[in-house]
Amino acid sequence: MLERKTFSNYTFHVFNLFFLTTIAFCCVVPIIHILAVSFSTSSAAAAGLVKFWPVEFTTDSYSFILNKPEFLRSMVVTLIRVVLATTLGMILTILCAYPLSKEKETFKFRAIYAWFFVVTMIFSGGLIPWYMTIKYIGILDSIWALILPSALPVFNIILLLNFFRALPKEMEESAFMDGAGYWRAMWSISLPASTPALATVGLFMIVTQWNSWFDGLILMNSPDKYPLATYLYTVIKGMDLTKINGNDFQNLASISDRTAKAAQIFLGALPVLLVYPFLQRYFVKGIVLGSVKE
């Protein structure tokens, strides 16, 4: 039956469109402003002349950051980190979430294991025990120090297990009747039907690993092993003055702390901005279905 268009429905749609447009505008405007500042000179940015379009267009802020071997090296470290951490994290999350999504009759100790994970979200051992654990297991100052401590986010487990629980049980029961076991049912039935949740969890992991800078700062002894976020942080905080060459001194006349920070913010957000549109159609569905327990 077609919905009857009444004045109240029309008013709601107009208000909803206006509200969502306003929210979208508020999200886009800061990004446009930051991009404009990053392509402007330091004098224009300091004078407050930059709004939504570059003033005295220049790419010196990007040249200062990009034209360095340290940047390319840190980019490679981050790409390796994102690929390894996302792959390992997805495997571990699936292997934990799938059995925890079963009923107590199927998995007898399900509640014990579930509470074991939930407690880690409430209580933390603290920064010093976390650092000492990484040090004494021998992965300090290696790529695995950036990957293993965050390889199994509990929030992602809860999101994915609730999505698994929302799937019709008849799908797996039909597979069991055909002789399939739990492994076969998981890979052939549950995972293909959980694309929205998997895309959402994968997006969370990619964004987290890409933006993490603090762990690289305290776990890596050599700046050559810094991930991109950590390297950009050190550049902006110290302006990397110990490694400035002749060309950089020329660039310093047209860049400032503000323009360099704007360039850093945009460079850090760019990969996520490029990836998100491809996963956006799964994102809302994955969040809604994965956060509601049957």
Instruction: Give me the mean pLDDT over the 236-251 stretch.
Output: 54
Q: What is the DSSP string of 49-100?
A: --SSS-SS---HHHHHHHSSHHHHHHHHHHHHHHHHHHHHHHHHHHHHHHHH
Q: How far apart are the first and last CA of the chain?
A: 29
Task: Quote the percentage of the chain above a pLDDT of 90.
Answer: 12
Domain ranges in the chain? 60-290
> What was the pLDDT predicted at 294?
42
Superfamily of domain 60-290: MetI-like (1.10.3720.10)
pLDDT at 155 over 70: yes
Task: Quote the percentage of the chain above a pLDDT of 70.
Answer: 87
Residues 6 or more apart from 93 whose CB is under 8 A from it?
A: 152, 153, 156, 157, 160, 201
> What was the pLDDT predicted at 290?
45
Query: Between residues 66 and 227, which one has the greater pLDDT?
Result: 227
The span from the CA of 140 to the CA of 128, in Å, is 14
Most confident stretch, 77-86, 242-251, 263-272: 77-86
Instruction: Extract the tokens encoding 249.
Output: 């001194």
Per-residue model confidence as pLDDT tens digits over 14-32: 888 899 899 988 888 888 9
Instruction: Give me the mean pLDDT over the 61-85 stretch.
Output: 86
Question: What are the φ/ψ torsions at residue 248 (nearest 5 degrees)?
Answer: -65, -35
Instruction: Give me the mean pLDDT over the 269-294 stretch.
Output: 62
Query: Between residues 59 and 86, which one has the greater pLDDT?
Result: 86
The span from the CA of 248 to the CA of 148, in Å, is 37
Picking from 251, 271, 275, the residue whose alpha carbon sits closest to that of residue 65 is 251
At 65, is the pLDDT very low, low, confident or very high (cuts 50, 70, 90)? Answer: confident
DSSP 8-state symbol, 189? I
Per-residue model confidence as pLDDT tens digits over 105-119: 778 888 888 888 888
Most confident stretch, 180-184, 214-218, 244-248: 214-218
> What was the pLDDT predicted at 103?
83
Read off the pTM. Answer: 0.75
Cβ(175)–Cβ(189) below 8 Å: yes
> What was the pLDDT predicted at 94?
92
> What was the pLDDT predicted at 281?
65
